[in-house]
Every structure is written in C-alpha cells, then in structure tokens.
Structure 1
Amino acid sequence: MHDNPRLAELAARHGVVTEYQDWTGAATRVDEPTLVAVLRALDVDGSTPESIELALADADERPWRRMLPPSLVTREGQSPSFPVHVPHGDAVRVDIVLEDGSVRAAEQLQNWVDPREVDGTFVGRATFQLPGDLPRGWHELRAYVRGAAVPTATATVAVVPQRGGVDRGPIWGLMAQLYQVRSAGSWGVGDLRDASTLAEWGAGHGADFLLLNPLHAPAPVVPVEPSPYLPVTRRFVDPSIVRIDEVIDAGRMPEHVAARLASLGAAAKAGNALDGIDRDAMWRAKRDALGAIFETDLDDRDRQRAFGEFCEREGEGLVDFATYCVLAEQYGRDWHAWPDGLREPVTPAVAAFRDANDGRVDFYRWLQWIVDEQLARVQADARASGMRIGIVHDLAVGVHRHGSDAWSLQDVLAGDVSVGAPPDAFNQLGQDWSQPPWRPDRLAEAGYSPFRDMLRAVFRHAGGVRIDHILGLFRLWWIPNGNSAGQGAYVRYDAEAMLGVLLLEAERAGARVIGEDLGVVEAGTRRTLADRGVSGTSIVWWERDADDRPMDPGEYREACLAAVTTHDLPPTAGYLELAHVELRERLGLLTRSADEEREAERESIDRVLARLEELGMLDPGASVDDRVVALHRFVAMSAANAFGVAVADLARDRRSVNQPGTSDEYPNWSIPLAGSDGAPMSLEELVSSPFAAALAAASTRVRGAVTPAVDETGAGDVPG
C-alpha cells in the first residue's frame, strides 16, 4: 500500500500508476512529490489532504456534468452501452449520424440509475446502446433533449476493425537512415530521389520494403535539430528531403533561376565528401533554392489548382504549421519566448501576423505540397520496382516542446512534463526525450482527431508504418520538469481507443503496422498487439528463451519485424567489436566498470555466436564479415513475418548513428554512411558493393522471397 492511500486513489482515478516493475522485475513505488507533479500536469491538485478530497469528489461528479461521453471507440460488430446525462425527468433521444450522412437511432435500455445532485441540479442518467451493425468509420452521436430540433450535445464515434490486415507473408526489406545515404545528386544529405534509388536496388535484390527514419519536419531555422525523433511536428514533413531538380520541369525554369540553382547545388554537393552531415548548410541552400522556384511553379494554372486542392485537404492544420514556421523565422523556434499574443494559435495577434505575412505562409504551405508530391513518387517507384509493401514510414513517439505541434495542439498536450523511459539494461540512467505527452483526457474530448489527422498524414504514401515506442499507446513515462529521467510515473492511455484509431486509419490506407515494443514491457501488452494484428520488434541480441539462452529462429514470435540491429546500437560489425561499450565508456554512461561491461557484453555476444556454430552456420574463428552474414541468415530463418536488414550493415559500417542518453556529447544523427574503412560511402558505391549484394542475396534466399535479379554465384561467400 502507498504511504498516502488517498493520493494513490486520486492518481489511479486519473490513470497515474503509483507502482511499477523496473527492468530487473523489482517493484518500484513512485514517490509522493512526483505523483503530485504528474497530477498537476493533468490539472488535478493533489498537493494537500483537502485538495485531494476535493479532487476525488470532482472525479466522481465530472461524468455527470457531461450529457454524452467525450467520445466512443468501438470495434466493428460490438454494441456498447453508454450513459447520457440530462436534467432529471427530461426526455432524450440519441441518433448516430454516419460518415455517409445517413442516420441511425441508438436504443435506450431499461437500466434505472438513481439521479444525483450535481452543482445544485438533479441530473438523471439514461443508458443507450449503439447498434452492432454500424459500418467502420468516423460517425457522430447527437443527443436531443425535450424534442429539440437541434442537438443539445454531440460526440465522436469511431467504429474500428477487430484487427489489422495486410499480411503478405514472410517478407524482408531494408532499414535506412535516409540522411546518411548520399548520392552524387544529393545536396549534402540523403533525399527522396536517393530513397527511390535505394528502394529500386532493394527490389531488384528481392526486398519488399524500405523502412525509413522519421521524416517529420524540424523547425525551419538553424541550427537544424538533427534528431528525426525530436521534430516540431509529426503531421508535416521535412521539406529539406526534396530533390531540388525534380520540383518542376526544367523547361519551365527561367534561366536566372536555373543559374541560381546550379550555383547553390554545386556548393551544397561539396558536402557529400564531408565525414559529417551539415544540415545547416544544406537547409540554407535548399531554402534559397526552393524560394527561387516558388513563384515560378505557381505561375502555371494547373499547378495553382492542384496546390489549392492540397491546401483545402490539409485545412487549418497546415495553416497553423506554416504560420509557426514564419513566426519561428522571426522570433525563434521556441514559442514560449514569443511576444504576448503569439503564444497561442488562435488570437487576434496571430491572425494579424498571418495576414501581414501571407506570402511567406503560402511558401511554407507550398513546401509541404512539394514534399508530398515527391513522397507519393517514392512509394510509386518502390511498388513499380516490385516491392510488395514499398516504403515503411517511422512515426516518432512525440514532438519537441518548443515546436509547431506543441504550439498549435497545446490544448491536448500536457505541460510541465516530458516523455521518456525509466532505467533499463541498456540505458541505466533512464531517458528524457524532452517531448510533451498527449493528455489522455483531452484526446478523448477531441474525439481523437489530432491523433487521427497525424496518422492519416503518415499513412498517406506508405505501405506500412513503424510506430516508435508503441507501448506509448498503453502508457507513457511522464517526467516532471526538474526531475531526473528516473523520477517519473507511468500514465495510462485508453489503449483500446488508441489502437482502434490506429487500425482504422491503417486499414483505410491499406498499410501494415509495426510496433517498436522493446524495453520495459508491461505483461500482456505484446499479446494484445499481436491479437490486434500489430507486429512487434525483435532484435537478435535480446531474444532469450525461458532458460535465458539465445532464442533459436523457430522460437521467434511470428508477429514481428526481426532484425540483427537497431538505430540505437552500432551497425553489426561495430557491435561485434564492442564499439558500443567503448563509446559509452568514453561518454561516461556506464554504471559499472568498463572491464565488467566488456566482459558481460562479450559473453552475451559469444553465446549467440556459439549457437550459430552449433547450428553449422558459422565456423570458429570466422571473420567479422562472415559473422555479420551468418547473423543475418540466422534471423532471416526465424518465424518472424518480416525481417529487416540495416543499410549500414550492407555498407559494413561500424559507427553508431545515435547514442541514447546524450545530446551534444556525441554527433547523434549526423554521421554519414561509411564503409569498413570509416570513409564516407556514396549511394553509388553502396549499390555496386559485392558485399551488399551478397548480404541481400542471402536474405532473399532464406526468406523465400522474389528471386533477385543478380548473379548469386558464390553469394554465400563474403567478398573481402
């Protein structure tokens, strides 16, 4: 029992978990100051015994103050009941207006509930039931009191699939950090033409998907945030990934604009030779180039019409994002520091600013249209090349607290807390991701529309979507401002609703859903995801059987994306050489001696390699390259329905792109693709690499995928 049981009860009423199991399995109790701070972020005062009692009373009465529930998310074929609150004695009728405009009636059930006095008024509760044959989609409840002609209250109803679909059998594909993959035509950073080239090469070698890092937009100012997992928005896309010379036809380009682009491009392409990603130089060049193209593009009447249709489809969300971008150019990326009147999206000052800068706002709306066109082209190229899935986009777990979504969606995001993760075996100090979490209560009140709109954007040009930290649909680790990463508390979400909305939008897009479910996982979560048709993630180093032995391929769960490595580890060659231990030692991230860490990691790696030797898949004393190929064959043999090969492994790279728990201490997300010698490797070099072809061929052969269009003679041997 908690030391303060009434505070614990209040926390539980609001979904705040007071005790959890840590990564060792030990029960850990959340301290009282942390509970109070997390409740405060939910607008609940638990600071004194008196405030706790008032808050508990409010929690009891709050549902009675609402005529209809905030929203209803139900699976197809179910008939849930729901309460309707009206002044005691008043008659009420409830209709469901379907997405197609037709109307159905909700049935009132015979279920007497005593009326209650709330705020000086007697309130009655009627119980209604949804029909069990409502079609999948987004509908609306409408309640009419005393025969009113217009609804007295409305609420969103989402009818969602029982489970996800798009199961296309055992597949394999590539996993890439797009910014790393630079070609001769790149402006210092990998772009969407490079993505198409990589997808076409992968398809030619039997791959069915290309998983890319999150492509969400950062703030449009320098220094550019390098982390794709810390964007300013998850709905809109980073415009810097466009290929400049594919924005408009060369024949429509005025000579002076073409000359300007050639000059900017030549300078930017020099960055391809650098052993580092210079996003600031790239963005300055591309922003200038895109600005030069902007007016020329919209001189064409057909282009004007298509742009207008895009803007109409994206609505106020796009206007808000574009407005944020222009405000950030003038006042900086952190909206908290903007002048009075500009810190909320709907104010007279913001409207006046938008009117005064309408051309620049249109420029940022146009950028989103341009990148949307190129994203569509990449997916079309991938599918036309023979991929069964095509592009799999990655959805980050959250957004930067200073960014566009945090500004425009502040009514549904929690302030004074950030999302992270408690300590685990690999991140023993915990993690603080500096991102404001969704407020579960406000999401429900908004009918999950912010979540839905974000998902629609990510799914639009995707054959699949990977959900980073999908456990966040069940619970998130909230860290009050000023606390360390380990001083937080889990807050629960309505996972049934969140998963339902996710599956509905995935179904409409015809896309597959993959969840990253690594780390500390609550009992039953993975089973729930599998039952709903959501694949998990398995990494060879962390897969253990009941006796803590490396798991054999046939023991892997079917519903998962299996891989040898992840972006939070070095590429496989580096991992085998303990590059991750050396890096964490250098950065002071170890919680035990370096010798102890090396010994433990070497023992863990050797256990996996020993199992490969027992299976006859690896010779003792094999080279690092041989081990890399054998590990990929081992995982490719697994029961997992999807298998991913990191592009960094194709390149024989060794360097980590990210070290969790660091910011400026390590150049996270700013390391280009390199070969085994550490020198930058171009996309042209990668796709002509014998080792890359051999590793892809081995994956294709084991997975039983499409026969690759390459000579497999000697593909089992590893080129030097």
Structure 2
Amino acid sequence: MDPKVLDQAAERAGIIPEYIDAWGQRKVISTETKRQLLNAMAGVADDLALAAALPPVWVVREGESAVLSVALSEPADWVLTEETGRQHAGYLSGGRLALPAGLPAGYHRLALRRELRHWSCQVIIAPPRCYEPAALLAGHKLWGATIQLYTLRSQRNWGVGDFGDLALMIEGTAKNGGAFVGLNPIHALYPALPGWASPYSPSSRRWLNIIYIDVGALDDFQQSSAAQQWWCLPETQGTLSALRDGDLVDYAGVMALKLSGLTLAFRHFITRGPEDPQRRSFEAFVREGGESLRFQSTFDALHRHLTLAGHPTEGWQQWPEPFRQVDSDEVREFRLKHHQDIRFFSYLQWLAARQFDDCFQLSRRLNMPIGLYRDLAVGVSAGGMETWSDRTLYRLEVSVGAPPDRLGPQGQNWSLPPQDPNVLFARAYEPFITMLRANMRHCGALRIDHVMSLLRLWWVPLAGSPQQGAYVRYPVDDLLAVLALESHRQQCMVIGEDLGTVPQEITAKLQAAGIYSYKVLFFERKDPAQYRAPDEYVPQAMATLTTHDLATLRGFWQLEDLRLGNRLHLYADDAIYQRLLADRQKARQALLDALHAWKCVPAKLGKNAERVVMSPILNRGAHRYLALSQSALLGLQPEDWLDMALPVNVPGTTDQYPNWRRKLVREVAEIFDDQGITRLLREVDRLRNKSADGQNSSPRPE
C-alpha cells in the first residue's frame, strides 16, 4: 500500500500517528505498526466511510443545539421517535437536520425516508454530568473501606471471602460511619480454570464470579437432605477447615468444594414447581439475561465438560476446532445434550446476582450514602466468553498494553484484546451500554480502571513487543455522554482511575463530566521533598493511602515492597534498586515532615525518618492526614488497619508471587471488635465531618 494511502487509512481507523512519551520525547509510529493494526481491524473504518446517509449513532448533550450533516443531496422526510413512543416529524432539505428542542435524555430513533430508500440512526441525548449522590452535592466528605473480597476471613466461609462476608463488612463499616465498601472486580472468571485468579483478566465483564456465592446461606442447600449429609461428612469438614485456615486462597480447592455443594443445591432447586417464587424469579432472570447469559452458561458448561474429558485449556482457542465457533453444529448439539448443565451455570449466576443485590439492599437499609462500589476492569482475557461469543467486536490479533515509561522501560503487554472503536460506533455503542448496565446494577458507584481507555488505548501487535505498539483513538465525547446517561439511570456515580501518565486533553473532560479522579497518597508529591497538603487535594476525587498494586502502608514505610521486588528480580540491576531505595528515603522523610506540619503525629515521634519505625502512632497519623484532605471521597484498606506488610499483587510477576491469593490476617468480625481499629475509624469519620464543615482540627502549617 502506498505510504500516503496507508496513513490516510490509519487516520480513519483511529490510529494516532505520534505521541509524547514519558520522557517528553516525540515518538512517531512506524509504517509497519500501522499496517499490522490496520490488518487487525479488517477494514471496518473504511466500510463505515462508505456508510449510508445517516451515521449509526448521533450523541448530543442536553441543552446543546444539535444539527447533523446528512449525506443526502435530495430532500427527504424524517421521523424521530422518542423512547416513550412520542414522535416528531419534518422535512429535510439542504443536507442539514436539526433536532427538535427539549428532547429528554434517553435513547431515541431517527428515521429518514426518500421514496423507497430508508435509513435510521440511534439518537442518544445525555445529561452533561454523571450522577452524584445527594451527600456529595451537599458538600459532605465521605469515607469507606476498599477491599479485595477474596481476602476476607470468617468462621463461616469456605476458604474465600464471599457475599456473606461482604455483608459483615458492610455492617461493620456502616457502624463506624463509613459510606461505602469498595470491591475488586467481581467479574466472571473461569470455573473450569480456578487458578486463573486475576480479577483484571476476566472471562466476561457482564457476569459475576460464582466463587463468591455464600453456599451455606442458600435455601436449596439448607433444605436438601443430600447436601446436609454431604456437609456433615468428615471428609467435607476436613477439606473445609484446611481451605479456611490457609493463609492463601486455594482457588482450585475452594471451587471444587463449592461446585460440589452447589450441584446438590441445584438438584433440590429443580424439584421446585413452576409457580414456586424462587423458580419464577430464576426464569425471569434467564429471560432478562437473554443471549448473553446463554453464552456465559454455555461457555462455562462446555469449558468444564472439556476439562473433565481431559482437555484442560486456558481458553477457547485451544478447544477442539468444532467448539471454537459459538454457532457451530457441535455447539448446538452440546446445548441440546447438556441442557441441564447449562441451566446449572445460569442458576449460579442467578444466585450470585441475588446475593450481591442483598448486600446492596443491606447498605441501603443502613443508610450508607453510596453503599457498594464496583470496579470495572479495562478489558477481558483473550480466551474467555466475551471473545468466544463476539469475534467482530474484539481484535484478537493485538493486545492492550502501555508504551515504555519510567516504571516499565520495556513497555507493558496486558494480554487483553481491545474492543474496536469502529465496531463500537457501528453498533451505536450497544456493547458499552450493556456493559455499564451490568456493572452499575446493585451499586452506588463504579470505578473505571484505566479511565484513559475512554480516550485512547495502546495497541500492541501480537507479533511485536510493547515498544512497537501505537495509541488508538476512542470516541471519548460520545462514551462520556453514554456514561453520564447510564450513570443517572442507574443512580451510580463514577470514579475514574487516572494514575500514571494522563493525557492533558482528557483531564478537563473527565472533570466536566462529573467523573471523580483517583488520588493515591504515595504519588501526591509536589516534588521529592514535599507532599501535597490536605487542603490542596482535588475536591472531585477519591483519595487513598495505597492500592492493590502498591505497597501497604507498613510495606511502604519499612521498604518491604522494594526488598520483595529485589528478591523477585524485578529490577534490571542493583543500580535501579539503589535509586528506588534513595527515592523512598526522600519520600518517607517528606511524608513524616507533612504529618508533623499538620500535627497528625505528636512531636515526640521524632522528625528523622531514618529513626522512625512503623508504629500505631505513625499509622494513625497517615490516616488522619488523608482524612483531612479536601477530596470528597476517602478509601481505606483493611490491610492498613491491620498493619500488614505484604501486598496483594506485585505487578510484573506471575508465578514468582502468589498474586490475588493473600488473605487478611484477621476475620471480619475480629476487625470490627478490635477497639484500636474502631477508634481509628471513628477518628477518620470525625475528621471527615470536620473537614466537610471547614473545621479542620489540625491548623494549616506556617
């Protein structure tokens, strides 16, 4: 292809020809990278360029004047049908169509007719900003717990934190004044591949991880004599004790035990008559889930069937050829022959949804202003249900990642196939809308991981290294509008994880759209010797001490994360390790200086960070400091209440470290029975209230 023609095609497809790297240098994308990405896109952008008179979708903000240029030279009739069925009609001439004034927010349909030719387009009218809870609009400063659900311990779970433990966490947080409990992504993983534990590499973002079902709380488990006999067996209780007592989650053991119990519960469930309330609820859930639930249940049943038959795989690409196509004769035959197995996995999704909703309703009864907030992963794994069932949406020849930066000089490949923005546009953003609805259901806030993906994603050809990738542009204004509309419809606020290198062009867009930023204490340094003061924090934001990908507070202060990284050989040479140690020493001193300046720690603690070790006083001081911040939201990890050192995840590792498996050191009930922890949380709550009233108990430093 002629280079000029190639460049034009790349521009139409959304491939950004150059970018500024982490060192401020201009980088130009190579011709070969453009060619590989265009081949992966299969000409979708060129097909759209030849589209009909109307685009697939037209997105407008409420209150904006909206005029669409129509690719039609002859006059034509038009009809706009609102969601309610109300219609507006007119006559088009001159190739420009203006929407009627005062259209309500929602999804409408525009139809254009010229003699025997017809065109149509989805018209989306969106509010200017995302939904915000009344408490935030009133100026309240809220705090809550941010947890990795699988890490929770209790005397009643089956070796992994579950929705029953989540209910205990909600009650304990609310009792101490907390406004929410934040969760790791709880997307569907792989029941047949339980060792695939990363919540950020799901099989599907539309459905739930069934490992979180509280089996013992199910009516069908309690009422089944077979289930109760199995439950009382010494072998069952022995397995349960070993899983529950382990310091790490044994996903394979937990999944095997839970599927045994759930199978017995399902056998009891199918004895219920068609008019039984639970049976009717399940059938309604299946109807509402539609094709997506059918795909999810079929995928899980088929994957399990092939695994039990001796074909364990990491995804559908390694399945026998006939099963790789979702609409093949063999898959249809499997559905007929294994109908009950598929119903079983639909039943599990129903149970998970019911129990999660019960948790959200509990938070509502406890008057938590937000209740639950979920985490939306940036993508799905290549071998999961979503890519199996929708080949045109995902570009399997490339992966999402990151270009080289200071923390990752080789770049990153996340092994997540991206959605094609051109296909999203052609489908009037229906996959994005569906995903948002699934994740905003039963919660008061949604955190979007790597929110920059609404603007651009770094695409890496599978045959190349991360350095050989390029940014691909996404329709950020349209996606933000859809996000605002769904946010209001679901009464769910939005938090955008915007850490790292954030393009300046999106920062203002996110703020104007009502999306809350994400501020981590460890990164909030104005320079190596000075931390940002609490009253300098962005109000429209969530502040946190740390995250699941970073050190805990103790790990940070005691350098445990750096020592761990060195032991795991994460640093290219000792010089890098020594530079990290030197920077950490500066960071510790700067933090200690800030804590003293804002009187968050007593003078007796000492002012030389080299001589100060982690202690309850220092821990409390860090919590107090962030509690005083102007950010509207504050998220705190139980790991820091418990003074734990080891992180839950070490980026850049796979088998070297037990990522996503480390449990908390105390049970949920014990956490909230600990007087030291409850004093800490109540002080955080008091300081948040004072901060909201402009009555910070710590004076501003001189």
Cα distance between partner residues in 2 of 1:682 and 1:525: 41
1:238 paired to 2:213:
no
Cα distance, 1:327–1:646 mapped onto 2, change above 3 Å? same
Cα distance between partner residues in 2 of 1:106 and 1:277: 63
1:286 paired to 2:258:
yes
Q: Paired residue for 1:258? A: 228
Question: 1:686 is matched by which residue type in structure 2?
Answer: I
Q: What is the CA distance between 1:347 and its match in structure 2?
A: 3.6
Cα distance between partner residues in 1 of 2:111 and 2:157: 53
Asked if the contact 1:392/1:464 (under 8 Å) is kept, the reply is yes
Asked if the contact 1:71/1:447 (under 8 Å) is kept, the reply is yes
> In structure 1, which of residues 433, 443, 457 is the aligned counterpart of residue 414 of structure 2?
433
Asked if the contact 2:628/2:691 (under 8 Å) is kept, the reply is no
Cα distance between partner residues in 2 of 1:63 and 1:92: 21
Q: Paired residue for 1:392? A: 373
CA displacement 1:91-111 (0-9 Å, x = unmatched): 53222222122222366353x
Q: What is the CA distance between 1:548 and its match in structure 2?
A: 7.6
Q: What is the CA distance between 1:393 and its match in structure 2?
A: 0.6
Q: Paired residue for 1:154? A: 120
Question: 1:608 is matched by which residue type in structure 2?
Answer: L
1:306 paired to 2:281:
yes
Cα distance between partner residues in 1 of 2:560 and 2:410: 20
Question: 1:12 is matched by which residue type in structure 2?
Answer: E
1:215 paired to 2:186:
yes
1:624 paired to 2:609:
no
Q: Paired residue for 2:309? A: none
Cα distance, 1:81–1:380 mapped onto 2, change above 3 Å? same
Asked if the contact 2:183/2:374 (under 8 Å) is kept, the reply is yes
Cα distance between partner residues in 1 of 2:217 and 2:206: 23
Q: Paired residue for 1:576? A: 557
1:684 paired to 2:683:
no
Asked if the contact 2:221/2:262 (under 8 Å) is kept, the reply is no
Asked if the contact 2:421/2:475 (under 8 Å) is kept, the reply is yes
Q: What is the CA distance between 1:623 and its match in structure 2?
A: 4.3
> In structure 2, which of residues 595, 620, 627 is the aligned counterpart of residue 612 of structure 1?
595
Asked if the contact 2:221/2:264 (under 8 Å) is kept, the reply is no
Q: Which moved more, 1:209-218 or 1:536-545?
A: 536-545
Q: What is the CA distance between 1:341 and its match in structure 2?
A: 4.0
Asked if the contact 1:392/1:465 (under 8 Å) is kept, the reply is yes
Cα distance between partner residues in 1 of 2:16 and 2:676: 49
> In structure 2, which of residues 482, 491, 497 is the aligned counterpart of residue 501 of structure 1?
482
Cα distance between partner residues in 1 of 2:344 and 2:421: 34
CA displacement 1:417-443 (0-9 Å, x = unmatched): 111122334344332211111100101
> In structure 1, which of residues 48, 58, 63 is the aligned counterpart of residue 49 of structure 2?
63
Q: Which moved more, 1:583-592 or 1:176-185?
A: 583-592
Cα distance, 1:488–1:64 mapped onto 2, change above 3 Å? closer
Cα distance between partner residues in 2 of 1:265 and 1:298: 26
Q: What is the CA distance between 1:249 and its match in structure 2?
A: 6.0
CA displacement 1:611-649 (0-9 Å, x = unmatched): 222233233255413222211211111110101111111
1:50-89 matches, within 5 Å, as: 59=46, 62-85=48-71, 89=74
Q: What is the CA distance between 1:196 and its match in structure 2?
A: 0.8
CA displacement 1:492-533 (0-9 Å, x = unmatched): 100111111112111111111111000111013122111110
Asked if the contact 1:218/1:233 (under 8 Å) is kept, the reply is yes
User: What stretches of structure 2 of length at least 5 have no aligned partner?
Assistant: 307-312, 693-697
Q: What is the CA distance between 1:690 and its match in structure 2?
A: 3.0
Cα distance between partner residues in 1 of 2:578 and 2:483: 45
Q: What is the CA distance between 1:671 and its match in structure 2?
A: 0.9
1:188 paired to 2:159:
yes
CA displacement 1:657-716 (0-9 Å, x = unmatched): 111122222211011113xxxxxx222332222332232122111101899xxxxxxxx9
Asked if the contact 1:107/1:129 (under 8 Å) is kept, the reply is no
1:456-495 matches, within 5 Å, as: 456-495=437-476
Question: 1:255 is matched by which residue type in structure 2?
Answer: S
CA displacement 1:143-187 (0-9 Å, x = unmatched): 2230x5xx8333222211110122422100000001001111111
Q: Paired residue for 1:165? A: 131
Question: 1:102 is matched by which residue type in structure 2?
Answer: R
Cα distance between partner residues in 2 of 1:94 and 1:64: 21
Cα distance, 1:616–1:302 mapped onto 2, change above 3 Å? closer
SS in 1 for 2:468: coil
1:272 paired to 2:241:
no
SS in 1 for 2:11: helix
Q: Paired residue for 2:642? A: 651
How many residue pairs match? The answer is: 667
Q: What is the CA distance between 1:24 and its match in structure 2?
A: 2.7
Q: What is the CA distance between 1:333 and its match in structure 2?
A: 4.6
Cα distance between partner residues in 2 of 1:106 and 1:589: 65
Cα distance between partner residues in 1 of 2:90 and 2:638: 53
1:545 paired to 2:515:
no
Asked if the contact 2:159/2:244 (under 8 Å) is kept, the reply is yes
> In structure 2, which of residues 162, 171, 178 is the aligned counterpart of residue 200 of structure 1?
171
1:407 paired to 2:388:
yes
> In structure 2, which of residues 111, 115, 118 is the aligned counterpart of residue 142 of structure 1?
111
Asked if the contact 1:541/1:605 (under 8 Å) is kept, the reply is no
Cα distance, 1:4–1:699 mapped onto 2, change above 3 Å? farther
C-alpha RMSD of matched pairs (Å): 2.4
Structure holding more helix per residue: 2
SS in 2 for 1:461: coil
Cα distance between partner residues in 1 of 2:691 and 2:260: 43
> In structure 2, which of residues 269, 288, 299 is the aligned counterpart of residue 297 of structure 1?
269
Asked if the contact 2:557/2:613 (under 8 Å) is kept, the reply is no
1:127 paired to 2:96:
yes
Asked if the contact 2:404/2:410 (under 8 Å) is kept, the reply is yes
> In structure 2, which of residues 576, 584, 595 is the aligned counterpart of residue 601 of structure 1?
584
Cα distance, 1:31–1:337 mapped onto 2, change above 3 Å? same
Q: Paired residue for 2:147? A: 176
1:562 paired to 2:543:
yes
CA displacement 1:178-207 (0-9 Å, x = unmatched): 100111111110000101101110111110
Task: Provide the TM-score with structure 2 as the length reference.
Answer: 0.90
SS in 2 for 1:432: strand
Q: Paired residue for 2:305? A: 330
Asked if the contact 1:427/1:661 (under 8 Å) is kept, the reply is no
SS in 2 for 1:478: strand
CA displacement 1:387-436 (0-9 Å, x = unmatched): 11101011111101000011112211112111112233434433221111
1:525 paired to 2:497:
no
Cα distance between partner residues in 1 of 2:460 and 2:28: 15
Task: Provide the TM-score with structure 1 as the length reference.
Answer: 0.88
User: What stretches of structure 1 of length at least 5 have no aligned partner?
Assistant: 45-54, 111-125, 675-680, 708-715
Asked if the contact 1:186/1:269 (under 8 Å) is kept, the reply is no
Question: 1:186 is matched by which residue type in structure 2?
Answer: N
Cα distance, 1:580–1:428 mapped onto 2, change above 3 Å? farther
Q: Paired residue for 2:34? A: 35
Question: 1:624 is matched by which residue type in structure 2?
Answer: M
Q: Which moved more, 1:33-42 or 1:462-471?
A: 33-42
Cα distance between partner residues in 2 of 1:266 and 1:145: 74
Q: What percentage of residue pairs aligned between the two structures are identical?
A: 31
1:640 paired to 2:615:
no
Q: Paired residue for 2:681? A: 696
Asked if the contact 1:232/1:405 (under 8 Å) is kept, the reply is yes
Cα distance, 1:342–1:85 mapped onto 2, change above 3 Å? farther
SS in 2 for 1:437: coil
Cα distance, 1:458–1:265 mapped onto 2, change above 3 Å? farther
Cα distance between partner residues in 2 of 1:455 and 1:21: 31
Cα distance, 1:610–1:317 mapped onto 2, change above 3 Å? same
Q: Paired residue for 1:10? A: 9
Q: Paired residue for 1:115? A: none
Cα distance between partner residues in 2 of 1:705 and 1:456: 36
